[in-house]
Amino acid sequence: MKNIIIFGAPGSGKGTYSDEIVAKYNMGHISTGDVLRSEIKNGTELGKIAKGYIDNGQLIPDELMIDILAKTYDALPKGQGVIFDGFPRTIAQAEALKTMLAERGDDMGMMIELVVDEEVLMARLLNRAKEQGRADDNEETIKKRFDVYRNQTAPLAEWFEKEGIRNTFTWTGAKETMLSNIFAAIDKNA
Ligand code: ATP
Ligand code: MG
């Protein structure tokens, strides 16, 4: 199985679709947000550093993030393919990912971009706040995360376009439609 990068704004469904893809194709899954939240929960040094950025809606510095990503990738079984959820979020991270994979004889595979209107995203995240109580799911921090996404992460879509691996899926109201379109693209790419 080839690697997959899942890309989109906060609340676009990266984690949700990753879980579906992992269940169907039996791949590895790296969610950098989940890795960081687990470090915070365990009270590690890394968790302490990460908390300040996350609670403020900002990105963790690239160098730190790239290091965490490589370690997490190397801990997964080889040859099954990995879905990258929440990474890369900057051009520097994307370049580092490409290099890190090439050093191991692997490549980025395909990129799946999720496009969802901001009003829909806000409603989803406020709803998730009630269900999961994530510290960064409050209106003020969500707005900061949208700004960070627009300024630092969204421009990366063009970078993937140039790499020739961008596949865009736009939310029109039905998860089943999104899923069948995504699965069809993965099957075509396999
Ligand atoms: P969702 O999980 O709903 O898609 P999200 O993309 O905002 O929303 P996570 O991916 O869980 O959520 O990330 C939460 C926070 O963790 C980010 O706002 C950021 O502070 C930090 N983070 C996660 N991945 C990265 C990364 N690749 N680079 C820098 N910071 C990151
Ligand atoms: Mg997530």
Q: What is the pLDDT along the chain (190 residues), one digit of tens a residue?
A: 899 999 999 999 999 999 999 999 999 999 999 999 999 999 999 999 999 999 999 999 999 999 999 999 999 999 999 999 999 999 999 999 999 999 999 999 999 999 999 999 999 999 999 999 999 999 999 999 999 999 999 999 999 999 999 999 999 999 999 999 999 999 999 8
Atom of ligand 1 nearest to the CA of 10: 8
Q: Can you tell me the distance from the alpha carbon of 6 to that of 109, in angstroms, rounded to the nearest whole number?
A: 11
Q: Would you name the residues annotated as active-site residues?
A: 14, 89, 128, 134, 145
Which pLDDT value is given to residue 25?
97
Which of 18, 145, 147 gets mutated to test ligand 1 (max ligand atoms within 8 A of its CB)? 145
Q: How far is the CA of 13 from the centre of ligand 2 (A)?
A: 7
**Confidence at residue 190, expressed as pLDDT on a 0 to 100 scale:** 83
- Ligand 1 atom closest to residue 32's alpha carbon, by position in its atom list: 24
Q: In what order do the strands lie in the sheet with 166-170?
A: 28-31, 82-85, 4-8, 110-115, 166-170
At residue 16, the pLDDT reads 97
Q: What is the pLDDT of residue 151?
A: 98
Which structure tokens are listed for 96? 């580092």
Residues having CB within 6 Å of any atom of ligand 1: 10-12, 14-15, 32-33, 36, 53-54, 58-60, 65, 86-87, 89, 93, 136, 145
- CB within 8 Å of 143: residues ≥ 6 apart: 57
Question: Is-contact 12 121, C-beta < 8 A?
Answer: yes
Q: What is the dihedral of CA 118, 120, 123, 126, to 10 degrees?
A: -60
12: its two tokens: 């676009």
Residues in a beta bridge with 30: 84
pTM of the prediction? 0.96
Which atom of ligand 1 lies nearest, measured to the CA of 86? 10
Structural domains of the chain, with CATH: 4-178 (3.40.50.300)
